[in-house]
């Protein structure tokens, strides 16, 4: 292929090269007919295909395709094998309806539950997001269809998404907002990456050389091409220089001409343009190796798969007195319009023309004696509808309340105003709960909601998310115990919006949003603030119970480069089969820079029959113990102790042990002229070399002269200024010269130790 690509580039005119870097239509790359180069077709994803029937049109009706559970739901399965299987099914449909590249998965971090597009994203945690995305990409690309991870990067809100500048510090950028992308890039090698609309620290993502070249390619080894989100490019030539190969949508003759003019004027090097063309051609030609089109979607088979996936995504949040599962003999009051007309996906570019749609009400009527009332057709208070619901609830053994956020609430393009259900829904829950002692709430939503006003009134809650076109069958299976719920939350549910760590800075002011909470996003923030939550990250109930035992680690004292194997036994001590998600968190006992209380570093989902025990093995590599140090612009690990916490959620630790990293990342000293006294004392070489000066200048009498500890008093003062405060004048060098000499000695010693 490489020879073919070099031949193509050699034969292409400047104008053809420039045109290739801009879409031919809203959904296709540019072809070169005289050279036999065909266009590649891209389609919206990520939980199914929105492949338009009329190609030039951006918003034309889409060809029917299977609507699978959204990413918010899929992440709650914590099942990477399931994500891989989903990717294969999406790829097969792509082949059937002629799609070369699927625009997904979306994997931005859920910084705030208000983000209108959260349903398209996996998690507040980068490890969970990265692992699920990697599995999905692997599944898609295993069949010869390209995947496109998006939106790179720091795209965590819809408010002013085209113009907002996300101001984020280096630690948060690398540890939270880039880490998931890094996992997906390194583990699954996606063919393409889509840049975000927003700016990151002052530079638009579409023209951000640091993100698109220094990080994505130089550090992570990305080999595919980068495309823009639709309409994200501001300066096309700057974009190519930064590492943005493809601008979408097309056609854009002015952009093509801008590239031609820049090359002719010497502003853009032809070698840079050729590199962009080469990257595009590699993917386009690779996509065409898999013939597309002419097939028929397996509607029934993929619908059944969508239901099976959804059944592992549902999270049982509450189950007082084991009101669930139902036994089928109850008289059931079914309330809520979502029971009849399901809400199973969000709005925007991912909205799929589903091949078929199931109704929970239809399935329930096949299982029990059912009466139905709409209850929440109105957003505002409708007492007559509530009264009707109360009437049927009074005569039932159990009331099932299907509560869905209105479809207009969660969508691409705008953020949510609050976490509340509608006034009608809240009033309905209260009224039905007063009328019936057994109330089950089934929720359809793409992110956290506020439940604090009604959670104590109901007996059971199922978080069903936006579960795709076959979600209704999965819900009914869980209600009756045909499927034991095994979903776990991929995001924290706060008690109220003001509890969220980013509350005071979301969505920012004007065109600036400051990520003031830094690395303390999601459970990391709630832990650090010691703030109670409604439901913690990783939480989910089952119809059975699991016990953890026999925790072992392959080594207590370990070195960098030595992976740790963590093994434990999990036993199903209940009476029904079930699946448990084992979560492993790491906590740094003592660190130089602030770190989260704990961080998810590994997980596994295990299926167990009643009474069965299985051994689970989890692996921790070097990165499990590292943080990003902005002083060195790299990931570092510090020698010392770490706690390993194994449990069923971020708030439910079952087993713990402590390990010791014998030696950390070897680092050169970063002592400089203006380093503070405290920084000198924290540096091993610096402390040793500075000690004679400090002993000379801070005698016991002088330390006591102001009634304070003088070393502590001066700890944040640069060392030259410290020396000036002492009044020392018996040296032939001034304080700056003295400290410069010490800095040189520190660096020489530091490098000698590293090289040794």
Cα 315 from Cα 336, distance rounded (Å): 20
Same domain as 553, residue 697: no
- Pairs from 256-263 (Cβ < 8 Å, separation ≥ 24): 256/15, 256/18, 256/19, 256/21, 256/22, 257/18, 259/17, 259/18, 259/21, 259/22, 260/14, 260/15, 260/18, 262/237, 263/14, 263/18
Name the more confident of 108 and 703. Answer: 108
Look at the chain and report how many structural domains it folds into: 4
704 has pLDDT over 70 = no
Question: 161 Cβ partners below 8 Å, 6+ apart?
Answer: 155, 196, 197, 198
- Host domain of residue 232: 1-39+153-163+179-289
- Average pLDDT estimate for 53-74: 88
- 480: which 2 tokens? 């009756």
User: Of 516, 535, 554, which closes a domain?
Assistant: 535
Same domain as 518, residue 374: yes
Q: What is the pLDDT of residue 684?
A: 83
Same domain as 478, residue 400: yes
Cβ-contact 594, 517 below 8 angstroms: no
Q: What is the CATH number of the domain that holds 214?
A: 3.20.20.300
Same domain as 380, residue 495: yes
Same domain as 645, residue 695: no
Q: Among residues 138, 229, 477, 588, which one is catalytic?
A: 229
Find out whether the peptide bond into 251 is cis, omega within 30 degrees of 0: yes
Residue 663 burial class via C-beta count within 10 angstroms: exposed 0-12, middle 13-18, buried 19 and up: exposed
Same domain as 522, residue 380: yes
Q: What is the DSSP string of 356-388?
A: ----HHHHHHTTSEEEEE---S-SS--HHHHHH
Cα 234 from Cα 207, distance rounded (Å): 8
Question: Would you say residue 667 lies in a domain?
Answer: no
642 has pLDDT over 70 = yes
703 has pLDDT over 50 = no
pTM, entire model: 0.96
- Average pLDDT estimate for 499-514: 97
| HSE value, Cβ hemisphere, 13 Å, CA-based, for 737 | 5
Cα 113 from Cα 642, distance rounded (Å): 31
128 has pLDDT over 70 = yes
Same domain as 610, residue 731: no
Question: Would you say residue 639 lies in a domain?
Answer: yes
Same domain as 428, residue 364: yes
701 has pLDDT over 50 = no
- Model confidence band, residue 729 (pLDDT cutoffs 50, 70, 90): low
User: Of 237, 259, 289, which closes a domain?
Assistant: 289
What are the residue ranges of helices labelled H in 142-269?
170-172, 179-188, 209, 236-242, 253-264
Question: Would you say residue 323 lies in a domain?
Answer: yes
Cβ-contact 723, 739 below 8 angstroms: yes
Cα 182 from Cα 539, distance rounded (Å): 26
Max CA-CA distance within the chain?
98
Same domain as 458, residue 422: yes
Cβ-contact 277, 19 below 8 angstroms: no
345 has pLDDT over 50 = yes
Looking at every residue in the chain, the average pLDDT score rounds to: 94
Question: Would you say residue 58 lies in a domain?
Answer: no
Q: List, in sequence order, every residue forming a beta bridge with 109; answer none if it has no partner.
A: none
HEC string of 538-556 equals CCCECCCCEEEEEEEECCC
- Model confidence band, residue 725 (pLDDT cutoffs 50, 70, 90): confident
End-to-end, the C-alpha distance of the chain in Å comes to 45
What are the residue ranges of helices labelled H in 177-269?
179-188, 209, 236-242, 253-264
Cα 66 from Cα 357, distance rounded (Å): 10
**What is the number of other CB atoms lying within 10 angstroms of the CB of residue 649?**
20
Measure Cα distances from 405 to 71, 347, 384, 500, 521 in Å: 17, 12, 21, 20, 25
Same domain as 524, residue 443: yes
Chain CA centroid to CA 738, Å: 49
Same domain as 506, residue 405: yes
- Model confidence band, residue 728 (pLDDT cutoffs 50, 70, 90): low
Question: Would you say residue 77 lies in a domain?
Answer: no
Chain CA centroid to CA 571, Å: 30
Q: What is the pLDDT of residue 537?
A: 98
Q: Strands (DSSP E) along 539-684, which ranges?
A: 546-553, 557-558, 564-572, 578-588, 599-608, 613-620, 627-629, 634-636, 640-649, 652-661
- Average pLDDT estimate for 427-452: 97
Question: 667 Cβ partners below 8 Å, 6+ apart?
Answer: 629, 632, 636, 750, 754
Q: What is the DSSP string of 328-363?
A: S-SEEEEESHHHHS---S-BSTT---BS----HHHH
Q: What is the pLDDT of residue 514?
A: 98
Q: List, in sequence order, every residue forming a beta bridge with 204; answer none if it has no partner.
A: 199
Cα 473 from Cα 105, distance rounded (Å): 25
Q: List, in sequence order, every residue forming a beta bridge with 712; answer none if it has no partner.
A: none
Measure Cα distances from 496 to 25, 172, 420, 493, 719 in Å: 45, 24, 9, 9, 47
Three-state DSSP state, 493: strand
Q: What is the CATH number of the domain that holds 526?
A: 3.40.50.1700
- 586: which 2 tokens? 């790491």
Cα 506 from Cα 669, distance rounded (Å): 37
- Model confidence band, residue 3 (pLDDT cutoffs 50, 70, 90): low
Cα 485 from Cα 544, distance rounded (Å): 9
Name the more confident of 697 and 360. Answer: 360
Cα 450 from Cα 593, distance rounded (Å): 34
Tallying the residues shown for the chain, one arrives at 756
User: Of 509, 535, 561, which closes a domain?
Assistant: 535
65 has pLDDT over 90 = yes
Q: What is the CATH number of the domain that holds 551?
A: 2.60.40.10
Q: Strands (DSSP E) along 696-737, which ranges?
A: none
706 has pLDDT over 60 = no
Q: What is the pLDDT of residues 669-698, one digit of tens each?
A: 989 999 998 898 888 888 888 888 777 776
- 65: which 2 tokens? 């395709």
Chain CA centroid to CA 312, Å: 19
- Model confidence band, residue 726 (pLDDT cutoffs 50, 70, 90): low
- 63: which 2 tokens? 């060809």
Same domain as 478, residue 355: yes
Three-state DSSP state, 744: helix
Weakest-pLDDT range from 29-38, 112-121, 432-441, 717-726: 717-726
Q: What is the pLDDT of residue 693?
A: 78
Q: List, in sequence order, every residue forming a beta bridge with 461; answer none if it has no partner.
A: 318, 441
Measure Cα distances from 460 to 147, 398, 493 in Å: 38, 11, 16
- Average pLDDT estimate for 445-471: 97
Instruction: Report the percent of the chain where pLDDT is more than 90.
Output: 86
729: DSSP letter = -
Cα 84 from Cα 134, distance rounded (Å): 8
Question: Would you say residue 693 lies in a domain?
Answer: yes
Instruction: Report the percent of the chain where pLDDT is more than 70.
Output: 97
Question: Would you say residue 146 lies in a domain?
Answer: no
- Backbone dihedral angles phi then psi of residue 403, each to the nearest 5 degrees: -115, 115
Q: What is the pLDDT of residue 756?
A: 66
Whether 482 is a known active-site residue: answer no
Q: What is the pLDDT of residues 362-385, one digit of tens each?
A: 999 999 999 999 999 888 899 999
Q: What is the pLDDT of residue 509?
A: 95
Q: What is the pLDDT of residue 58?
A: 73
42 has pLDDT over 70 = yes
Question: Would you say residue 145 lies in a domain?
Answer: no
146 membership: H or E segment, kind and range: strand 146-152
- Backbone dihedral angles phi then psi of residue 318, each to the nearest 5 degrees: -150, 145
């Amino acid at each position: 292929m490489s020879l073919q690509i070099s031949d193509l580039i050699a034969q292409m005119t400047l104008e053809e090269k420039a045109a290739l870097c801009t879409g031919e239509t809203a959904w296709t790359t540019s072809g070169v007919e005289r050279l036999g180069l065909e266009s590649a077709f891209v389609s919206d994803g990520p939980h199914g295909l929105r492949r338009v029937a009329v190609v030039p049109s951006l918003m034309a009706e889409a060809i029917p395709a299977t609507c699978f559970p959204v990413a918010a739901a899929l992440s709650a399965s914590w099942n990477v094998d399931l994500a891989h299987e989903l990717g294969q099914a999406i790829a097969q449909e792509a082949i059937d309806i002629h799609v070369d590249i699927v625009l997904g998965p979306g994997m931005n971090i859920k910084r705030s539950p208000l983000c209108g597009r959260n349903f398209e994203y996996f998690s507040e945690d980068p490890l969970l997001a990265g692992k699920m995305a990697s599995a999905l990409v692997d599944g898609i690309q295993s069949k010869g269809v390209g995947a496109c991870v998006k939106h790179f990067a720091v795209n965590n809100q819809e408010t002013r998404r085209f113009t907002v500048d996300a101001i984020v510090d280096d630690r948060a950028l690398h540890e939270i907002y880039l880490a998931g992308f890094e996992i997906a890039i390194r583990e699954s090698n996606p063919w393409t990456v889509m840049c975000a609309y927003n700016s990151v620290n002052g530079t638009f993502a579409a023209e951000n050389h640091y993100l698109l070249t220094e990080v994505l390619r130089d550090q992570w080894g990305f080999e595919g091409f980068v495309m823009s989100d639709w309409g994200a490019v501001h300066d096309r030539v700057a974009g190519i220089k930064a590492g943005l190969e493809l601008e979408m949508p097309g056609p854009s003759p002015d952009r093509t001409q801008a590239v031609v003019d820049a090359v002719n004027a010497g502003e853009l090097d032809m070698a840079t343009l050729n590199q962009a063309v080469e990257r595009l051609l590699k993917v386009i030609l690779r996509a065409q190796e898999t013939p597309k089109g002419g097939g028929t979607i397996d509607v029934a088979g993929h619908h059944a798969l969508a239901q099976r996936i959804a059944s592992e995504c549902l999270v049982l949040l509450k189950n007082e007195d084991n009101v669930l599962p139902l036994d089928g003999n109850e008289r059931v009051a079914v309330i809520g319009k979502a029971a009849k007309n399901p809400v199973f996906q969000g709005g925007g570019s991912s909205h799929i023309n589903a091949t078929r749609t199931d109704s929970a009400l239809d399935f329930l009527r096949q299982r029990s004696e059912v009466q139905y009332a709409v209850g929440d057709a109105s957003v505002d208070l409708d007492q007559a509808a509530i009264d009707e619901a109360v009437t049927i609830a009074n005569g039932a053994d159990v009331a099932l309340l299907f509560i869905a956020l209105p479809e207009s609430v969660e969508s691409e393009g705008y953020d949510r105003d609050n976490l509340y259900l509608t006034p009608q829904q809240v009033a309905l829950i209260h009224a039905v709960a007063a009328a019936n002692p057994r109330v089950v709430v089934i929720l359809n939503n793409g992110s956290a909601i506020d439940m604090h006003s009604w959670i104590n009134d109901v007996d059971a809650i199922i978080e069903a998310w936006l579960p795709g076109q076959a979600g209704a069958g999965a819900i009914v299976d869980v209600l009756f115990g045909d499927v034991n719920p095994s979903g776990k939350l991929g995001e924290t549910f706060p008690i109220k919006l003001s509890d969220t760590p980013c509350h005071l800075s979301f969505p920012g002011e004007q065109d600036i949003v400051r990520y003031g909470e830094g690395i303390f996003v999601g459970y990391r923030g709630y832990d650090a603030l010691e703030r109670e939550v409604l439901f913690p990250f990783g939480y989910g109930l089952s119809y059975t119970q699991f016990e953890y035992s026999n925790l072992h680690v392959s080594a207590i004292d370990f070195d960098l480069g030595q992976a740790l194997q963590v093994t434990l036994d999990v036993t199903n001590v209940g009476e029904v089969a079930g699946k448990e998600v084992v979560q492993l968190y790491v906590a740094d006992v003592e660190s130089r820079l602030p770190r989260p209380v704990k961080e998810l570093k590994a997980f596994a989902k295990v299926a167990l029959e009643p009474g069965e025990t299985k051994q689970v093995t989890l692996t921790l590599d070097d990165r499990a113990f590292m943080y990003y140090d902005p002083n060195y612009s790299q990931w570092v690990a510090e020698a010392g102790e770490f706690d390993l916490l194994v449990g069923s959620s971020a708030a439910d630790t079952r087993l713990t042990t402590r390990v010791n990293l014998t030696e950390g990342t070897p680092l050169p000293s970063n002592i400089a002229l203006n380093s503070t006294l405290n920084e000198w004392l924290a540096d091993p070489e610096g402390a040793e070399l500075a000690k004679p000066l400090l002993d000379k200048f801070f005698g016991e009498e002088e330390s006591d002269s102001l009634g304070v500890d003088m070393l502590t008093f001066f700890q944040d003062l640069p060392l030259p200024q410290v020396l000036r405060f002492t009044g020392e004048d018996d040296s032939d060098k001034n304080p700056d010269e003295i400290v410069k000499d010490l800095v040189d000695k520190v660096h020489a010693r530091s490098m000698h130790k590293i090289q040794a």
